Structure 1
């Protein structure tokens, strides 16, 4: 049964080669791609087991060829490399060792400045800026009045700005 199907498909491919190439050229927008895809289909026919009865061999071949051409395009898109002049113009955002060391120094300085704050003020500041809590949420969490939270937060921010402006 499968051998008969294969013979029917190969016969349809040979008989309707011209019209099939014309249809595929329109669909793939290139006669070269259509020819290459149809050749791939012919090769693939012998390798694939046929499932069920093929009612319309020409439609089957057309769909199979389009699918193979689509797969080839996807494979080429994944493996296509960029031209060297495009690569040379790219900027690498990954920090180098010097930038990493400077960032660590900045973080260490920030931690030491935060440690210089009174405990309650530091907790309020971190709750606001690290944990993104509202003034009301912070007040409820720490058992304070909302206005106290606002004043402590303002003092913490002034202190941090002054510390950031100081030379090292």
Structure 2
């Protein structure tokens, strides 16, 4: 774990600056405050924060930028999901609780697949979410069926082993 004193000094010296930087990026004071807070929480739980930093603002900016990217990706995913729900006939509508669970699952799946090559993610999603066969995925992506299988296995391993590390 990180030394709390190091994060405490970073917080007292740079929190206001970081919040301002985030507010300029996001255009929203509340989101900026939340992400500034999340930045320092992430540092407290990290094992990779050096005891001294030559460029503390650059370091904080890098950590915060990852959180901003995650925020935007989650926002885009949520908007896409809500747009899809709005087009769903009422007979197939689900409860607000079920919607929240599905959205949480989609966000977690997105987090798990982050970092995989785009072709691997796409093959996995076409297969698992769209229910396409390996041949259909291969045709859609212009790759061979064995490559589709390798991509799907790679994504499944990422999900499986991430689940084991959380246990």
TM-score higher than 0.5: no
TM normalised by structure 1 equals: 0.42
Larger Rg: 1
TM normalised by structure 2 equals: 0.43
